[in-house]
Amino acid sequence: MYSKRQSYAPTFLTGFLFCLLLSLMSTACSDVEFRRGRVNMFANVERTNSYEQYGTFNSTLIMEVDLKARKGEERLSLAGAIAPPLVLHSDLIVLAGSDGVLSKVSADKVDWQVKLPNESVVASAMVADAHQNLYMQCSDGMLRSYDTTGALRWEHRLSDGEEIVSFSDLLVFPGRIVACDSRGRIHCVDTAGTVKWKRISGEAVAQVPAGDSSGNLYAYNTHNKYGESDSLNKYDENGGLLWSRPFAATRLFKGPIIVDDKTIVAGVKQNGENRVPVMHVLNRMGRVVWSRELAATPRGLSASGDGTLFVTSYDAAPGDTRSVVSAITPQGDEEWSREFNFKIPGAALVSRNAIAFTGIRKNSSTGLYLLRRDGSFREVISMSALPIVNLHAAAGNNADVIYAMSEKLGYVAVGESSVHRIIPF
Q: What is the pLDDT of residue 42?
A: 82
Q: What is the pLDDT of residue 22?
A: 45
d(CA 278, CA 255) in angstroms, rounded, equals 12
Q: Which CATH architecture has domain 2-35+46-108+220-422?
A: 7 Propeller (2.130)
d(CA 317, CA 75) in angstroms, rounded, equals 44
Q: What is the pLDDT of residue 37?
A: 72
Q: What is the pLDDT of residue 35?
A: 44
Whether 215 has a pLDDT exceeding 80, the answer reads yes
pLDDT of 240-295, one tens digit each? Answer: 999 999 999 999 999 999 999 999 999 999 999 999 999 999 999 999 999 999 99
d(CA 6, CA 25) in angstroms, rounded, equals 21
Sign of torsion over alpha carbons 296, 244, 123, 86: positive
Q: Compute the C-alpha angle 345/370/264, nearest 5°.
A: 55
Amino acid at 169: D
Q: What is the pLDDT of residue 319?
A: 64
Would you list the domain boundaries of the chain?
Answer: 2-35+46-108+220-422
Q: Is the pTM of this model over 0.85?
A: yes
d(CA 292, CA 333) in angstroms, rounded, equals 9
pLDDT of 16-55, one tens digit each? Answer: 444 444 444 444 333 333 445 788 888 899 999 999 998 8
Q: What is the pLDDT of residue 404?
A: 93
Which residues on neighbouring strands pair with residue 266, listed in sequence order? 254, 279
Q: What is the pLDDT of residue 161?
A: 65
| Local structure of residue 268 (DSSP, 8 states) | E
Closest CA to 383 of 2, 6, 87, 105: 6
pLDDT of 202-211, one tens digit each? Answer: 788 988 999 9
Q: What is the pLDDT of residue 403?
A: 93
d(CA 359, CA 50) in angstroms, rounded, equals 19
